[in-house]
Amino acid sequence: MSATISNPIPALKLPPERIHRLEGYGMRSAADGYLFRPTNVAEIRQILNLAQETHRKVVLRGAGRSYGDANVGSECIIVDISRMNRILNWDAKTGLIDCEAGVTIEGLWRTTMEDGFWPPVVSGTMFPTLGGALGMNIHGKNSFKVGTLGDQVVELDVLFPNGELQTLSPSDDLFYQVISSAGLLGIITRAKLQMKRVHSGDVKVLAVSCDDWQQQFDCFEKYEHDADYMVSWIDCFGRGKANGRGQIHVAWYGNEAYDIPPTLKPESQDLPDTILGLVPKSVVWRFLKILNNRPGMRFVNYAKHNASKILGNHKEIQQSLVGFSFLLDYVPNWRNAYLPGGFIQYQSFVPREHAKAVFSKQIQMQQDAKLQAFLGVFKLHKPDKFMFSHAVNGYSLALDFKVTKRNWPRLQKLCHEMNEVVLQAGGRFYFAKDSTLRPSDVRSYLGDDTLKTFKELKARFDPEGLLTSNLAKRLELI
């Protein structure tokens, strides 16, 4: 969709047909920018030069799967790296894969699965690019066990706006600063990572229904030294004693007694086109839209909790790695159910000792404000060394809130109040999910030393301050 841009002077050199309206995944943050889709490093250099000549700032963008405003920038040049998607080398003996930064998580597993390797860390969707995933340093349902994606990378090429192209490894400080820097220090153009050896394309999944937070925490603690993956769904409508009710899925890699397990064939991983063999997946979001309001979601959450308690408790099933990992990809365009206002995701990360108190308070606060999240997802993490890290030795709760014109001021207020509770508990936040943080919140959890280091790096590697985003401006990072 194209739109007009106000300042016509620098735009003289930039063709108007490049103007596109781009949005964050939650569809609440959108901005018009000049879209460029380079296919190699030389083209990125040319675009950076063009940005300097035309006095435009630059925003990096992968698959646009960050929920808020980290991948958009008003009147900026947008460098979308998704066409740089070549696998440069795949070594099926060592499991090392060397790729351009536009390769997606899907591109990784489709390349390596048949040889018995799976991406070591994946998000809840398979569409993010490696560049975007490392820009944010994503975590998966195995975060408590293996850490974040950056922990799995052995080498990285980064093109900095000052013209330097550097190859970084985990022995360089800069490696930990570029990964997680939300695209504000340099352009990741290539990454080499260690894939995870698997002996089956299936995982064994155990479902455990929980009546409250205590049962949730007990279950995570019971399995954390043994399980490969853990994730829990939280019913944010559960009140009083039912605050924190939901269902945990604990999963273990499978082991098949075949030289070439049939489940490793990519086609055995493909998600079905229909739900229950009947309803085409492409229309499912329209049904979701009918229920996508507070009474509807109260009912859906209640029904899901009771079904999991009565039918699914302590049941074990075999599931494909793709089916288990990318549940949200089952329903194409599910986010359209949130139209016209879109939605935000609010994810906070809280140290173990305070997590139960903070998350039960957050649920109570939403209920008091009559702004319950329609979906809550609960995970366990371990800390990492990355500059803008969101990780803690503790738990996270991700909450999807529907946005409407009417509720937006109240929703922002609720988020700001929840921030206070998180910050007092020594918690952190995640730029990939953020839409409502304020500069003071970020200063508080990242600390002055980290922000000073970032500014020094910015002055050295991006002296003209080319790299930006609407998130960076909102949070006064630049």
Ligand X SMILES: Cc1cc2nc3c(=O)[nH]c(=O)nc-3n(C[C@H](O)[C@H](O)[C@H](O)COP(=O)(O)OP(=O)(O)OC[C@H]3O[C@@H](n4cnc5c(N)ncnc54)[C@H](O)[C@@H]3O)c2cc1C
Give the binding site for ligand X (CB under 6 A): 25, 59-66, 70-71, 81, 101, 123-125, 128-129, 131-133, 135-136, 138-140, 182-183, 187-188, 328, 432, 469
The conformational region for residue 385 under phi > 0 = left, psi -120 to 50 = alpha, else beta, is: alpha
- Nearest approach, Cβ of residue 93 and ligand X (Å): 28
Cα separation, 455 vs 191, in Å, equals 25
- Nearest approach, Cβ of residue 262 and ligand X (Å): 28
- Nearest approach, Cβ of residue 241 and ligand X (Å): 29
Residue 467 in tokens: 């790299």
CA distances from 219 to 227, 232, 364 (A): 11, 10, 22
Cα separation, 143 vs 267, in Å, equals 27
Kindly give, in sequence order, each residue whose CB lies less than 8 Å from that of residue 158, ignoring residues fewer than 6 positions away.
165, 166, 168, 174, 178, 185, 186, 187, 188, 189
- Nearest approach, Cβ of residue 469 and ligand X (Å): 6
Cα separation, 329 vs 334, in Å, equals 8
In the complex with ligand X, which residue's Cβ is closer, 328 or 365?
Answer: 328
- Nearest approach, Cβ of residue 290 and ligand X (Å): 21
- Nearest approach, Cβ of residue 253 and ligand X (Å): 18
The conformational region for residue 293 under phi > 0 = left, psi -120 to 50 = alpha, else beta, is: beta
- In this chain, which residue has its C-beta nearest to ligand X? 132
In the complex with ligand X, which residue's Cβ is closer, 157 or 441?
Answer: 157
- Nearest approach, Cβ of residue 470 and ligand X (Å): 10
CB 131 within 8 A of CB 70: no
Reported as half-sphere exposure (CB side, CA atoms, 13 A), residue 264 has a value of 21
In the complex with ligand X, which residue's Cβ is closer, 124 or 199?
Answer: 124
In the complex with ligand X, which residue's Cβ is closer, 123 or 269?
Answer: 123
Residue 245 DSSP symbol: -
| Beta bridge partners of residue 350, listed in sequence order | 395
CB 113 within 8 A of CB 200: no
